[in-house]
Chain A
Amino acid sequence: SQQGEEDPQALSIQEGENATMNCSYKTSINNLQWYRQNSGRGLVHLILIRSNEREKHSGRLRVTLDTSKKSSSLLITASRAADTASYFCATGTSGSRLTFGEGTQLTVNP
């Protein structure tokens, strides 16, 4: 079963705009990770935020985590056409098992 739910399911923006994707989850977590997937290929790790962290940055990515609301958001600033992909949040609980959400399909129009 899926733990995370991403919102929106699909997002279409123009190049240069910011893209925000949200993720909600149900149980306590050790960490939350965001992955990117191009055209049904392998997943690429973007960023990991631990349960005791509230915000993290990596290049044009900004992730926030609110454990009281069991939610996270991924912000991509100054988007590019190459950012077009599916984005998944995944929660880490026991061991190395990751529980993924359904994903957000981001389209960045040139």
Chain B
Amino acid sequence: ETGVTQSPTHLIKTRGQQVTLRCSSQSGHNTVSWYQQALGQGPQFIFQYYREEENGRGNFPPRFSGLQFPNYSSELNVNALELDDSALYLCASSPGLAGIQETQYFGPGTRLLVL
């Protein structure tokens, strides 16, 4: 148990729809990162939030957006869903900003299927 939870566990959407995925970090963890993991691949970094502000972004289009709230919860929003967005979405929290030497604590993930 990492203390990080995600909801929902599974989700089915159709192309063009919008989706919101939720994550609850460990208390005291100011940094949350989101990753996309396609089937059979390693996770890819989407973006990171630190104290409610975006703090780094991977190679994902603007239709992927996020929010982080003061109560250590966060959201990943994806607009105009495409078939290739089907994946496992993972959030990970860590205590500080730089995280150079830090472990990240992952949630169990949300599996999104876009039809």
B44 touches A31 (CB 8 A): no
Number of cross-chain contacts by CB at 8 Å = 85
> Residues of B within 8 Å of A, CB-based: how many?
35
> Residues of A within 8 Å of B, CB-based: how many?
28
Contacts of A96 in B (CB 8 A): 31, 33, 48, 56, 94, 97-100, 102, 104
Digit string of B42-61 for contact with A (CB within 8 Å is 1, else 0)? 11110010000001101100
Q: Which residues of B contact A (CB under 8 A)?
A: 2, 4, 31, 33, 35, 37, 39, 41-45, 48, 55-56, 58-59, 88, 90, 92, 94, 97-109, 111
Pick 26 A–B contacts, CB within 8 A, sort by A. Answer: A1-B59, A2-B41, A40-B37, A40-B88, A41-B109, A42-B2, A42-B90, A42-B106, A43-B90, A43-B92, A44-B2, A45-B103, A45-B105, A48-B101, A88-B42, A94-B56, A95-B97, A96-B100, A96-B104, A97-B56, A97-B58, A98-B45, A98-B92, A99-B45, A100-B35, A102-B41
